[in-house]
Amino acid sequence: MLANELGFDAAYLDRIPFLKAPGVRFADQAKFHPLKFLTALAEGFHGRDSPIFEKSAVTKFDAKKKRARANGYWINYDRVVLATNNPLLGESSLIAGVFFQTKLALYSSYVVGGTVPRGSIPIASFWDTNDPYQYLRVDRHGDSDYAIFGGEDHKTGQGKSTESRFRKIAAAFRKLAPSAKIDHRWSGQIINSNDGLPYIGPNEEDQFIATGYCGNGFTLGTVAAIMARDWVTGTKNPWCDLFAPDRKKILGGTWDYLRENKDYPYYLLQSRLRAPEGASVRAVKRGEGKIVRLGRKKLAVYRDKSGKVKKMSGVCTHMGCIVRWNEAEATWDCPCHGSRFGPTGQVLAGPAETALRSA
Ligand code: FES
C-alpha cells in the first residue's frame, strides 16, 4: 500500500473495531488537548521582547506602509505573518489579494457531542471517505467517555437548512451510539485549497501567509509555525516549494480552481434574483433574520430577542453577493466565498473584512 511505502504504519482491515466495516488503520496517532497545547506554547513564547496581546484583532492592514491597525492604533512592522485563517487583504495588493482569496473554498461542518458509556467506543479517530464525509472522535472523561460526531459539510452559505443538518448528524450519531446523551452542538469552518495542500509561505517580500489547512489545522498549523520561524531566521525550509502560495504546477489544481469558482458568478446572479426570504420587515420574528426586498434593494433584516430591528444591506462587502440567514447559528452567510457576519452585521469570518452596511 502506498501509505506503507511512504513510511506510515498503516494496515488494511476487513473489519475495523466498532464500525465493523472494512478500513485502514493508522497506528500510533497522537491526540492532545488544544487549550493545554496553546497554553504551553504561549508560556514558551511570552517574554520580555515577545508580548502576546489578546482581544486585539487586526481590523485594517496596510501592506504598502507596513502597518496593521488594532484597537484604534497603527502598529508598524518589518515582517508580518498573516495566520488569520482567511488572510487579511488590507489596503493594498488588491487584485493579487482578491485573486488569492478565490483560491480558497470555505466549507461549514456540523458537529454534535455527547457522553457515551465508558469503553463503548474504542479510543480512536474514525472517518469515512464519503462526500460529505462523517467523523467520530472519542475521549475519556472520568466515569464516562465523551464522543463527538460530525459531517454534513457544505460550502458556507449554500445548500439546505442548517437546522436540518444538525438533525441529520444527531440521528446518525444516535444510530451508532444509541445510549449517547447529546449535550452540545456547533459548527466550524474549514478552508480548503484548490489542490488539497495548504498555502504556507511568503506572499510578498515582508509578508508570510498560512491558510487552506483543509481540516488538518493542528498538523498544518504546526508546520506553518516551523516554516514561519525559518522564514524569519533566514533558514531554508524543505517544504517551501510544495506549499508555496503562488505554486501552479500541482496536478488537478486548475480543474478544481474552476470547479470551486464557478460558484461565484452563479451565486452572484442567483443570490440577486432569488426571492426574498421575508415578505416584509414585520414578517421577521424575534431572534430571526430574513432577506427582505425594499424597493430595488435587498435588505438583511434582523429582529433581536427584545424586538429591536436592525436593517442592513444584504450585499456582502467582499465581492457583492447577497448573504443568507443561517437559522441554526444566527449568522448571515455568503454563498460566494463563505464570509460570515453576525446578526447585526459584524464580520465573523473572512474573506470579507468590513461589516454589512447599515440601511
Ligand atoms: S464572500 Fe465573496 S462575495 Fe461574499
Q: Residue 63 in 3-state DSSP?
A: coil
CA 339–ligand 1 middle distance (angstroms): 6
The CB-side HSE value for 323 (13 A sphere, CA atoms) comes to 34
Binned at pLDDT 50, 70 and 90, residue 90 comes out as low
Extract the C-alpha cell encoding 109. 461542518
Which whole number is the average pLDDT over 227-245?
Answer: 93
Which whole number is the average pLDDT over 255-260?
Answer: 54
Of 283 and 174, the structure prediction assigns the larger pLDDT to: 174
Which whole number is the average pLDDT over 14-40?
Answer: 90
CA 337–ligand 1 middle distance (angstroms): 5
Confidence (pLDDT) at 331: 93
- How confident is the model over 263-284, as pLDDT tens digits? 665 666 666 666 666 667 788 8
336: Cβ below 6 Å to ligand 1?
yes
- How confident is the model over 282-307, as pLDDT tens digits? 888 898 998 988 877 888 999 999 98
Class of residue 308 by CB neighbours under 10 A (exposed 0-12, middle 13-18, buried 19+): exposed
Confidence (pLDDT) at 215: 87
223: Cβ below 6 Å to ligand 1?
no
Candidate from 155, 271, 315, 318 with most ligand 1 atoms within 8 A of CB, to mutate: 318
Residue nearest to atom 1 of ligand 1 (CA): 337
The region that residue 77 occupies, defined by phi over 0 for left and psi between -120 and 50 for alpha, beta otherwise, is: beta
Q: How large a percentage of the chain has pLDDT more than 90? A: 44
DSSP assignment, residue 350? S
Question: Is residue 204 over pLDDT 90?
Answer: no
Ligand 1 atom having least distance to the Cα of 101? 2
315: Cβ below 6 Å to ligand 1?
no
Binned at pLDDT 50, 70 and 90, residue 177 comes out as very high
CA 115–ligand 1 middle distance (angstroms): 38
